[in-house]
Amino acid sequence: MPTLIAPSVLAADFANIQRDIEMLNKSNADWIHVDVMDGVFVPNISFGFPVIEAIKKYATKPLDVHLMIVQPEKYIEAFKKAGADILTVHYEACPHLHRTIQQIKAAGMKAGVALNPHTSVDLLDDIIADLDLVCIMSVNPGFGGQKFIENTYHKVTKLQLLIAKNNSKAVIEIDGGVTDVNAEKLCAAGASVLVAGSFVFNAPNPIQTIADLKTSTNQ
């Protein structure tokens, strides 16, 4: 599968969100990554439904919504209504993960599970066949602009084997500290969706940076 690029709007300029979404529409980005933080699951608060609706109003690409919240099962329909196409919940926030995944699919979205850096990919053995996406956190969730954790490569390799063993169609997404330094190595290990926040939005030319990431990981 070709590598997909999913810029994270957490690093966008919220006073110019229409401009930044239109920039992503014009770029080679495949998905728009949307980080929702509740101040409970993670030590930061980002934004909620009105902001997602505003993004959806302008976006011409799928919204890849990453929920860093407790009890995500309470809000599945609401995220669908706000415009989510892919909905990812955290393994660590879901005691009834199987049910939550079925609810996401029943609501008409692709279902993903995110793993914190300390959570082993082996814990997905009994759910991987049901997943459309696994998001490996390559930083501790809560903030953009953090340093990439090198153990991520090892997790990607292990997850790739688990996916093959279970005939799963899940794609591997990497979230946190992605740059041109690690992108190619991540894809060689088996990743196929790269989230990038600060690397894209802090670049002098974000459209060019997205294009370069896409080219370098699709050779």
Residues known to be catalytic: 35, 175
The contact mask relative to ligand DX5 for 117-156 (x = CB under 6 A, - = no) is: ----------------------x-xxxxxx----------
Q: Residue 167 CB, nearest distance to ligand DX5 (Å)? A: 29
* 142 versus 190: smaller Cβ distance to Zn ion: 142
155: partner contacted, choices ligand DX5, Zn ion, none (Cβ within 5-8 A by kind): none
By CB atoms closer than 10 A (0-12, 13-18, 19+), residue 158 is middle
Q: Does 38 bind Zn ion (CB under 5 A)?
A: no
Sequence-separated (6 or more) residues with CB below 8 Å from residue 56: 63, 82, 83
Among 177, 182, 183, 213, binds ligand DX5 (CB under 6 A): 177
DSSP 33: E
Q: Does 132 bind Zn ion (CB under 5 A)?
A: no
Q: How many CA atoms lie within 13 Å of 55's alpha carbon, on the beta-carbon side?
A: 31
Contact 170, 133 (CB under 8 A): yes
Give Cα 100 distance to the centre of its chain.
Answer: 17
* 28 versus 166: smaller Cβ distance to ligand DX5: 28
Distances (CA, A) of 93 to 42, 70, 115: 11, 5, 10
Q: Which of 29, 6, 67 is nearest to 193 (CA)?
A: 6
* 58 versus 143: smaller Cβ distance to ligand DX5: 143
Q: Does 199 bind ligand DX5 (CB under 6 A)?
A: yes
Instruction: Give all strands (DSSP E) within the chain, no chain letters.
Output: 4-7, 32-37, 63-68, 86-90, 110-115, 133-137, 171-175, 193-196
Q: Residue 101 CB, nearest distance to ligand DX5 (Å)? A: 19
The contact mask relative to Zn ion for 7-36 (x = CB under 5 A, - = no) is: ----------------------------x-
**Contact footprint for ligand DX5 (CB under 6 A):** 8, 10-11, 33, 35, 66, 139, 141-146, 175-178, 195-199
